[in-house]
């Protein structure tokens, strides 16, 4: 299986590669690599797994249909299909911004998912960069510390 591994730091993607291997094995290897960089005195170490429903316009090329069947490809309407994409996020350099809200400032992450195509790769790279982009507080609100 082809697996997409994206590393993002402070608002940008610094690495994006497609590797061969089983998804769970790649996640464990990347987590081990991130663990080496993790500073337990400053940051939490978090591995999140989420399933996103991805929608595609029909028709879908034949070779892509074969790949997407493994992800539960199904018709979602007259001219759309959808499938479930498992995405892992490994956060190893982060700070708690608000304990009451449980919000984090992510500085460095890995985002790992099955590789589908270049369009989805671009979308996931944007998502990874967004995760590590510092959010501005609403106007009139000052952050403490």
pLDDT at 145 over 60: no
Does a structural domain hold residue 136?
Answer: no
Range of the structural domain that residue 35 is part of: 2-131
The domain total for the chain is 1
Q: Does the residue 143 lie in any domain?
A: no
The 3-class SS string of the chain reads CEEEEEEEECCEEEEEEEEECCHHHHHHHHHHHHHHHCCCCCCCCEEEEEEEEEEEECCCCHHHHHHHHHHCCEECCCCEEEEEEEEEEEEEEEEEEECCCCEEEEEEEEEEEECCCHHHHHHHHHHHHHHCCCCCCCCCCCCCC
Predicted local distance difference test score (pLDDT) of residue 91: 97
Asked if the structure places residue 64 within a domain, the reply is yes
In a domain, 142, yes or no: no
pLDDT tens digits, one per residue of 11-37: 999 999 999 999 999 999 999 999 999
pLDDT per position as a tens digit, 64-122:
999 999 999 999 989 999 999 999 999 999 998 776 665 779 999 999 999 999 999 99
Q: pTM of the prediction?
A: 0.88
The pLDDT assigned to 141 comes to 52
């Amino acid at each position: 299986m082809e697996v997409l591994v994206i590393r993002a730091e402070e608002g940008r993607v610094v690495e994006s590669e497609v590797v061969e291997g089983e998804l769970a094995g790649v996640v464990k290897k990347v987590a081990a690599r991130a663990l080496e960089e993790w500073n337990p005195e400053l940051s939490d170490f978090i591995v999140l797994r989420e399933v996103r429903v991805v929608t595609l316009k029909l028709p879908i090329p034949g070779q892509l249909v074969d790949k997407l069947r493994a992800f539960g490809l199904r018709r979602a309407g007259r001219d759309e299909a959808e499938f479930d994409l498992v995405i892992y996020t490994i956060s190893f350099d982060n700070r708690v911004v608000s304990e009451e809200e449980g919000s984090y400032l992510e500085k460095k992450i890995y985002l790992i998912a099955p590789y589908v195509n270049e369009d989805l790769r671009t979308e996931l790279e944007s998502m990874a960069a967004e995760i590590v982009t510092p959010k501005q507080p609403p106007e009139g609100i000052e952050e403490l510390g």
